Structure 1
């Protein structure tokens, strides 16, 4: 196969990282004959959160939130066309599933990634530079063999970049030394499936984190333990094991309308607003909450209570090893203003993910990047990093713009729309027309032009009145 670095002509678009978001971009770019694109990923093939593909778990978004449908329902890369290629359309039709299994979504994405000619795995992007003389980005990369070892060095020239580097598992500072020890019985939920058999042998298991991943791990563990001898603890910082906001109007926070509204807010307002919206994307879906309660209730039918402790509002202050098979967690309950210790034999950290830093990859471009008051890259409405005017190429980001675009940045339901925005901006055309309205909610006030003009004038002095 001819790889992009073997070509003499520069690319119009190079995507770095092949997760669902850049895979969406690759799928929508595929039918555009005037766009020369390629996508690199250092992995050998596509996989989507393999450590969290617990049997039976489903996506929290409908199957229509696939890679392309919400931008181009007629695309050959839809989930429905994937089912057709597998002779599974009728089984899916009768299953009446709106939310598909995660393993099925992973298989669908792998089908697309393997079929697209523009996806190149085993390509590790090392650094990005701007060449002002040629008006191009230079991307140095390493081609890796099947074992992940360096095989060859290369350089690719491109007019535009799209960074889809994804997120990395987040481990709170007090737990990092233990988590990094190879023999410690502590793992992030990202590795749960891989470590599951080892974890299940522990006498007592603690789950840390109240989001969907924590709930799914706790439920899976609970179902494997004997009645009355569960020996499970579930703790979280949040004030409750709360349901995800899944009302119809609540879901309109994951529309292009809300994304545009959020981007138009002042930086301090955005920073204050984001933490308050945790239930929009960090809660637990109702089905999982109900399943946990049902399982706990079933274990009371003979009159006892399950040996399972569920405590929200708790922070892990410090942690340490007790011998070779135990961990001591030092806990604090902020509302109660109390502290305690918990001895456990294994810990699963369902503590979420953080955006991968762009610093190392883009270090030669730091002088060109415009930043906000917190030192974060400024991102414009087209998901482009704001660069110095001397840089004529564009760098777009996928799922690295929560601070500018809000809670919808990591949501799969906005993948096809954002890919459309990026492709329209890069091509200067409209291969994917964007909807003018996507929500019943109007998120801000529309200021009439006349009112806006008057309010900008200096106010007249107020006449003094008696008795005021």
Structure 2
């Protein structure tokens, strides 16, 4: 639904760039706030959440309470439970006793919200964000796309605040990047798996690269669709084991506002070191998925013999090359053994994760105003605002980011369970009041000897973020 702005010369309060779960959460929580005039632009034709990985039975790894709004406002009309009630499915869900819902159901729930919220403009590609010092507003330029994805019209919106929630992009390792775009042997990212599954299943030998959750789910799905004794599947990954995700109760407290505040207050070099060692908090595999894979493999041994599969962790792909129109060769290295080998395969599925979108293209016009850390990454304050030159922030205008702040806010940045809290934090800053009261404590763990506490008051929109000395780079 598109709502025209009543006065094109009047700046909006908020322009959201991207409509993924993060900004959809923000739009849902902003919807009842009469004082917030907001619009959101998304280049895709509709809401889609990793459609190529909506495998039958695959579940999201957070409880259903981690929907778009509940952990900030359980009375919102946009809760998952209200979605079930609206679709007359509340009792079936009650008896299903499922705390973790299927990924396809979460996608359908988000689309239900997106289809009803005003101010969401799909097929609108944001091209740039600039600062207009004469009007003290941001200028957001966009291209309206037709059904074929071609430019149809250009537009510009003025706004006092911008929230960037453009999500992540599929990561393809450098050794395989030339092959991914070449015709012939299918080499594709797991994000496109379902779209090409029928073609992949005709391949004689299939290799899955990546030892995280998506790699495990793709391998399991292939296993279930390949005949016993003729699986011809090879699953490799860089990690030292096909390891389960950290899912202990206290371990999960790394995905709380308490830990986010603790992490943000640490020095930059400490944050970077921590992130490198926390892969199992977010890159491990759900224990049920590992169990299902083992069950499938074990079932194939009941009448003797072993399945035609190879599962090898601790392996990296050094280089790769096409050896014919139907086959490629992967050059592998085992990090622990310090050995190398070659693997010939007919198809490759890259379950190699995602990377945060670089903000450089959209924010190129703001580059002179952005304060950066020692690694030239944007500095982001506790309220998810880019640290900009005071000539901008002193006017009450800010740029917030969602799911682009892992380097400043930790492993919870992309976590669905923190989306509502982060959106509420942003809206509290925009409205200059505690529009959504947030808890002061969320974890039993005290992560430091001096635990950072929430600010006793909401920062006003015209209060510039506190600038730490450049040598601190926090």
- TM-score normalised by the shorter chain: which range applies? over 0.9
* C-alpha distance in structure 2 between counterparts of 1:280 and 1:177, whole Å: 31
Q: CA offset at residue 447 of structure 1?
A: 8.6
* C-alpha distance in structure 2 between counterparts of 1:165 and 1:110, whole Å: 17
* C-alpha distance in structure 1 between counterparts of 2:450 and 2:365, whole Å: 42
- Classify the secondary structure of the residue corresponding to 2:303: coil
- Classify the secondary structure of the residue corresponding to 1:359: coil
- Classify the secondary structure of the residue corresponding to 1:425: helix
CA contact (8 A) 2:184 2:326 kept: no
CA contact (8 A) 2:163 2:400 kept: yes
- Alignment partner, residue 136 of structure 2: 135
- Alignment partner, residue 425 of structure 1: 429
CA contact (8 A) 2:25 2:419 kept: yes
- Alignment partner, residue 215 of structure 1: 216
CA contact (8 A) 1:4 1:156 kept: no
* C-alpha distance in structure 1 between counterparts of 2:288 and 2:329, whole Å: 32
1:406 alignment partner, one of 405, 410, 414: 410
Q: CA offset at residue 6 of structure 1?
A: 6.5
CA contact (8 A) 1:12 1:159 kept: yes
* C-alpha distance in structure 1 between counterparts of 2:233 and 2:266, whole Å: 43
Matched, 1:445 2:437: no
CA contact (8 A) 2:175 2:318 kept: yes
The change in CA–CA distance for 1:310 and 1:6 in structure 2 (over 3 A counts) is farther
- Classify the secondary structure of the residue corresponding to 2:100: coil
Q: CA offset at residue 7 of structure 1?
A: 3.3
- Alignment partner, residue 452 of structure 1: none
* C-alpha distance in structure 2 between counterparts of 1:447 and 1:139, whole Å: 39
The residue correspondences of 1:127-276 to structure 2 (distance < 5 A) are 127-276=128-277
The residue correspondences of 1:360-371 to structure 2 (distance < 5 A) are 360-371=361-372
The residue correspondences of 1:43-122 to structure 2 (distance < 5 A) are 43-122=44-123
* C-alpha distance in structure 1 between counterparts of 2:289 and 2:5, whole Å: 45
CA contact (8 A) 2:3 2:118 kept: no
- Classify the secondary structure of the residue corresponding to 1:361: coil
* C-alpha distance in structure 2 between counterparts of 1:5 and 1:178, whole Å: 50
Give TM-score scaled by structure 1 length: 0.94
Q: CA offset at residue 201 of structure 1?
A: 0.4
Give TM-score scaled by structure 2 length: 0.93
- Classify the secondary structure of the residue corresponding to 1:390: helix
Larger radius of gyration: 1
* C-alpha distance in structure 2 between counterparts of 1:227 and 1:112, whole Å: 42
RMSD: 1.2
- Classify the secondary structure of the residue corresponding to 1:360: coil
Structure 2's unaligned 5+ residue stretches are 453-474
Q: CA offset at residue 9 of structure 1?
A: 1.7
- Alignment partner, residue 471 of structure 2: none
Give the number of aligned pairs: 448
Q: CA offset at residue 412 of structure 1?
A: 0.2
* C-alpha distance in structure 1 between counterparts of 2:384 and 2:5, whole Å: 24
